Amino acid sequence: MNPILIAFVGVLVVPLFVASWRLSLLGLAVQGLLMAWISYELHPALDPLPFSIGMFDLVIVRGLGAPIALYAALRAQSATSRNDVIPPNLMSWTLAVALVLVAFRFADMLVPAAGDEHSIVAAATAAVLLGFLVLATQRGPFSQMVGALRIENGIAMFELGNTRDPAMQLAQTVILVVTVLLFRWYLTTLARTSTAKSSAVEWLNP
């Protein structure tokens, strides 16, 4: 298996075991940058336009933009460093590892021959399954956003093996940018609402 894809799977798993929102965002950033590296290795001679759109999507939006936008929103709130992406218990950790194994088994059935295609399918499936695990086990807005972005990264990983129409690439990138901006707006608005409620309670109960 390609060492970069091994690193990608590692970046998917490690933040699940460490209750830190900073590490979750770092994981998302590294996922985007690793996908850009993988894309360059798979398509070194790609036409300039689709290559530029792809790199903008993977490096600027996924690798830098989304993590920085959410980091700034949480930093402005002085959020506590602890954030459980999945419940901190043995059952959740075991389920996370089991889902990674299921992803590789699925890749074995879908792409029997070893190679980059097999590894990409395994890594992408793991990203999607772990993203759904986060969505299914957490109710907090930030954790839900992380789960959604993990799934989005998994879908992007699936698409790395094939070239896409530049117009479709651009449309998907615009949708992702709008989604990230919406996430940031929601986190900021949620913080303001919580502050206003706290102020109202303090005023009513001096």
Q: Tell me: the pLDDT tens digits for 164-175?
A: 788 888 999 999
Q: Are the C-beta atoms of residues 70 and 25 closer than 8 Å to each other?
A: yes
pLDDT tens digits, residue range 183-202? 999 988 876 655 444 433 44
CA 116 to chain centre: 21
- Report the percentage of the chain scoring pLDDT > 70: 91
Q: How many angstroms separate the CA atoms of 169 and 163, rounded?
A: 10
pLDDT of residue 164: 75
Q: Following DSSP, what letter does each residue of 142-182 receive, concatenated?
A: HHHHHHHHHHHHHHHHHHTTS---HHHHHHHHHHHHHHHHH
pLDDT of residue 199: 39
Domain count, the chain: 1
- Domain extent at residue 8: 3-204
Q: How many angstroms separate the CA atoms of 73 and 159, rounded?
A: 30
pLDDT of residue 196: 42
Res. 71 pLDDT band, cuts 50 70 90: very high
pLDDT at 161 over 90: no
Q: Following DSSP, what letter does each residue of 37-60 receive, concatenated?
A: HHHHHH-TT--HHHHHHHHIIIII
Structure tokens at 83: 């954030």
Structure tokens at 76: 């402005």
Q: What is the pTM of this model?
A: 0.87
Mean pLDDT across 175-184: 94
